Each structure stands twice: as structure tokens, then as C-alpha cells.
Amino acid sequence: MDRKITLAYGDGGELAHKLIQQIFVSAFGNRDASRFDASFLSLKSGEIAVTTDSFVVKPLFFPGGDIGKIAVSGTVNDLAVAGAVPLCLTAGFIIEEGFPLADLRKIVRSLADEAAGAGVEVVAGDTKVVEKGGADGVYINTTGVGLKRSEGAIDPSRIAPGDDILISGPIGDHGIAILAARGELGLMTELQSDCAPLNKMIDAVIEAGCDVKMMRDPTRGGIATTLVEIAEDFHATFELSESRLPVRDAVRGACDILGFDPMYLANEGKVVMVVAHEDTQKALNAMRTFSEGESAAVIGQVTGKGIGQLLLETPLGSKRRLHRLSGMMLPRIC
């Protein structure tokens, strides 16, 4: 094989066959290339969940992950927070002409490892090649199919005053790690992206019998945008306490310098939950048994129904209303 991808790899001919056979099929443990095209899965009757995400993160490799890892965690987490047990993923690659095969191999390996770690099979894939300048290295789409849980139905319409709002760990790591990796910070940081599949941790919370009324992964737009959306959709007032929000010093420092608010920074390995107050400790305990959830914390409460709004109590005791992220913050964060 060549050392770089040429347009001929996208043609559906001999080279495309080799590319799929040698790089993809072997990494995903599929039997043969034909299997890679469409796969069958047996299901007992039930509801399936389907979700899709394209990944265009820049740079492709960053502290704590790469585009292959984030392509798995992003889609697995979408399924898990929707209340589904991830069953399988598909992976569609758009590759720029000239992209080094060694890098492609690394990315595919990372995607395969991450999927295996999350217990999710990659069942179908596709590669397309575009001319130099037609993409920026590699873009990946992953689409996930999951089985809806029968127990622990997540139903945000049941959100009620008195419920607690929990986060599984410190916010903003991914956003700042990506910025740092782009060299746009002008400062050094040891910070790693938090990108990780959370399905096993979420399983543990549900299986502990916690009454989880809502779960979301606060990615693009950050925890503020995520909670504003839920508050508005379900006409609930959420009040967060700024002093209880876990934020790493490196993230806080970078935000101070750059004028960012960690509440609007993307996370790729965090879940925010609304939990019935009596189950809060149980949920925290379940999350804290996982490294991804060791700093899980209560960050606020549901304080009203009727008006959809997100309020933030500052350390001085005043309250301000938060809105969706508006305008541009960080493009190509995932």
C-alpha cells in the first residue's frame, strides 16, 4: 500500500477494497469486507434508539484523545443519556487526499479500541476520499443504535421542584484542552480532554435504582446551553450554585485569561442529571466508583415549574439568568 491516501482509494475499486480490508476490517474484527457494508443484528422485541454525529475536531490528535476516540464517546454518550444501552456503531470516514496512512491507522485503531472498551461493536463502515483541500485530514460520522432500557425510564416531564442537579465531574476540560492543542492559548497546560464513553457509569446509576428524570452530555454549548434547553423544553427553573461547580484550576485560569466562561465550554466525558432528591447520594456513590465520575457533585436544584429558566447563584449570593450560547465560541471542538 502507499504511504498516503490518494483519490483512487475512494473509487470503489481494488485500492478501496484493500483500504477497507487492511485497515478497517482488521481493526474492527469483522469477518470480511462484505460484512462491513451492511450488518445484521438480532433483537428481542423492544424499542431501539438511533443517533448520529459527525466529528470534525481540530486537531485530530489532542491530549487525552483523538478524533477516533471522540467519535465513539460522543455517540455512545448520546445513546446512554437518551436512556438506551448502546448496541452497535457505524463509522463513515471522509478522508483528504494525501492523508498519511499511518495516521489513519492510528485513528481507526483508537476508534476500535474505544468501542471495544465501551462494549459496542462497530458493525458497518464506509470510506470516501476527497481532493486535497476538500477536507481537513479526516472527518468521521458515527451512528449508534441502542436498545431502550425497560427499567429506569428517563422522563424529563417528571422533573419537579426539590430535584437535585448533578454533574459527573469538572467542566470545560475538553474545550480548553482542544484550544491548548491548537496552540491558541499561548500558555502551557497539562490539561487532558475528558473525552470518554460514559455508558458503563450511567448503567451503574440506573442499576442502583436511582430515579433519574433527565440525563444529558453537555458537549457543544457547554453545561449552560444544555440546561437552558432542558429548562425551556420542560418549563422548569434550574438554579445552579457557582461555588459548587467543579472546575479545574487550569480551566479556570485559561478562562480568566481568554474571557471564556467554563459553563459554555464543551465537555466530552461528562453527564449532567436531574435526580429525585432522595436518590442523590445513591447516584453520586454509583458515579464515584468510576474514574470518570470520581468528582461527581451536586451543583444545583430544581426550584420551580412553569417558567423555563436557568439561574446561577454567584458566590456573593446574587442570581443571574443564563442563556444559550450565542454566536461563535470555539469552532470544530468535536
Region 149-178 residues binding a second copy, contact defined as CB under 8 A: none
Give the 3-state secondary structure of residue 176.
helix
Torsion of the alpha carbons at 131, 66, 220 and 208, rounded to the nearest 10: 140
Q: Which of 15, 227, 274, 322 binds a second copy (CB under 8 A)?
A: 15
Q: Which is nearer to a second copy, 12 or 100 (CB)?
A: 12
Cβ atoms of residues 39 and 157 within 8 Å: no
| Minimum distance from residue 23 beta carbon to a second copy (Å) | 16
Q: Which is nearer to a second copy, 43 or 257 (CB)?
A: 43
Q: d(Cα 10, Cα 69) in Å, to the nearest integer?
A: 23
Region 264-303 residues binding a second copy, contact defined as CB under 8 A: 264, 266
Give the binding-site size for a second copy (rule: CB under 8 A).
79
Q: Can you state the angle between helices 199-207 and 67-81, rounded to 10 degrees? A: 20
Stretch that binds a second copy, among 20-28, 62-70, 163-171, 319-327 (CB under 8 A): 319-327
| Minimum distance from residue 6 beta carbon to a second copy (Å) | 7
**CA separation, residue 186 to residues 52, 180, 232, 235, 253 (Å):** 35, 8, 38, 42, 12
**CA separation, residue 78 to residues 30, 168, 313 (Å):** 24, 15, 29
43 Cβ neighbours under 8 A, 6+ residues apart: 147
Q: Which of 22, 143, 192, 295 binds a second copy (CB under 8 A)?
A: 143
Q: d(Cα 83, Cα 77) in Å, to the nearest integer?
A: 10
Please choose, from the candidates 163, 85, 94, 105, the residue with its C-alpha nearest in 3D space to the C-alpha of residue 127. 94
| Minimum distance from residue 114 beta carbon to a second copy (Å) | 17
| Minimum distance from residue 275 beta carbon to a second copy (Å) | 20
Strand partners for 104: none
Stretch that binds a second copy, among 60-68, 131-139, 190-198, 287-295 (CB under 8 A): 131-139
Torsion of the alpha carbons at 195, 199, 200 and 203, rounded to the nearest 10: 150
Q: Which is nearer to a second copy, 141 or 189 (CB)?
A: 141
Region 196-255 residues binding a second copy, contact defined as CB under 8 A: 219-221, 225, 229, 233
Region 49-108 residues binding a second copy, contact defined as CB under 8 A: 49-56, 78-79, 82, 84, 88, 90-94
Helix (H) or strand (E) run with residue 142 in it: strand 138-148
| Minimum distance from residue 95 beta carbon to a second copy (Å) | 10
Stretch that binds a second copy, among 179-187, 237-245, 300-308, 321-329 (CB under 8 A): 321-329
Q: Which is nearer to a second copy, 46 or 100 (CB)?
A: 46
Q: Which of 4, 105, 106, 128 binds a second copy (CB under 8 A)?
A: 128
Q: d(Cα 59, Cα 115) in Å, to the nearest integer?
A: 21
Please choose, from the candidates 71, 73, 14, 82, the residue with its C-alpha nearest in 3D space to the C-alpha of residue 48. 82
34 Cβ neighbours under 8 A, 6+ residues apart: none
Q: Which is nearer to a second copy, 122 or 166 (CB)?
A: 122
Q: Which of 160, 247, 298, 329 binds a second copy (CB under 8 A)?
A: 329
Region 23-52 residues binding a second copy, contact defined as CB under 8 A: 32, 34, 37-52
Q: Which is nearer to a second copy, 244 or 332 (CB)?
A: 332
Residue where the block lists cell 468521521: 140
| Minimum distance from residue 44 beta carbon to a second copy (Å) | 5
| Minimum distance from residue 125 beta carbon to a second copy (Å) | 6
